[in-house]
Amino acid sequence: MDCRSQCPVAGRCGHQSGLLYPGQRRSVMTAISTHHLWVPFANPVLQSQQAFRKLMRAMSEPGTCVSFDTLYASDSGQAASTSQTAAFATALTLLDQETSVWISPGISSPALIDNLRFHCGCRLAENASEADFVMLSLSELNGLDRFSEGEDINPHTSATLIVEVPALEVASVDEAHPDLLVLSGPGIKARKGVRVQGLTPDHRRLFENNHQRYPLGVDFMLTCGADLVALPRSTQVSTLTNRAATAGEDTQCMSQ
């Protein structure tokens, strides 16, 4: 919703500045500063539907890169940081008063917090384990234990992680590159390759192990600028290292 013309502490602005932190003893959050509010979707109904279709395509076709560069653009007003275009468009589409979000220290800023509160109305979770959505950088992704992975009878209650990465691109599965993730599973005809800059061995094991918890586990949305690639928990992820190990085992078996 575009509230620029009706901003000064009236209507929605006044309501949202009274949001409470979940679980706190009714301590009121600080008032939203209207000076650094970003421009939301110009046409909220139409563009949120278009963004939702993009996100559903990304989730149903893992490894497919969708872009929000033309969907979220503004000729007037202050837009979200170019490094957070896809992340903010995703938040505008999926977050509302019924959802909670935890923002990591690495990407948290007064501007991001105020814009999520103002435009989405979402609750800010104190702990990552309580959040429906988590926003963090790849360098801060050092494990999954602190995030909700759902329950056996309610696996859909797991968290969705919106992870900002330094660079992201679709690549050939035959490319020998240490940043390459090879994807297979539902929604993928054969295999797909995605290069994610900044991957460490721990990240690779984390992505691989997440699938092994299915139907539990978390869903990933990797973002870089206006681009987004989804890695749902149903997707099997392999890397150059374990593919080479598998090939070695196959060669050994053939020689025997």
**What are 166-200's pLDDT values in tens digits?**
999 999 998 888 899 999 999 999 899 999 999 99
Which runs of consecutive H residues, i.e. helices, occur in 32-159? Answer: 44-60, 85-94, 110-115
Answer whether residue 249 shows pLDDT above 70: no
- CATH topology for 43-112+127-255 is Rossmann fold (3.40.50)
Looking at per-residue pLDDT, the higher value among 19 and 149 belongs to 149
Answer whether residue 25 shows pLDDT above 80: no
Query: Can you give the residue ranges of every domain in the chain?
Result: 43-112+127-255
Whole-number percent of the chain with pLDDT over 90: 68
Looking at per-residue pLDDT, the higher value among 35 and 135 belongs to 135
Model pLDDT, residue 177: 86
For the segment 224-235, what is each residue's pLDDT rounded down to a tens digit? 999 999 999 999
Model pLDDT, residue 256: 43
As a whole number, mean pLDDT of residues 3-29 equals 38
Using alpha carbons, select from 183, 160, 161 the residue that is nearest to residue 170. 183
Q: Between the CA of residue 225 and those of 12, 39, 161, 166, what are the distances in Å?
A: 29, 16, 16, 9
Categorize the per-residue pLDDT at 14 as very low, low, confident or very high, splitting at 50, 70 and 90. very low
Categorize the per-residue pLDDT at 156 as very low, low, confident or very high, splitting at 50, 70 and 90. very high
- State the average pLDDT for the chain: 84
Whole-prediction pTM value? 0.82
For the segment 52-62, what is each residue's pLDDT rounded down to a tens digit? 999 999 999 99
Model pLDDT, residue 21: 35
Looking at per-residue pLDDT, the higher value among 74 and 119 belongs to 119
The rounded distance, in Å, linking the Cα atoms of 21 and 25 is 9
Angle at 222 between CA 96 and CA 242, to 5 degrees: 140
Model pLDDT, residue 3: 43
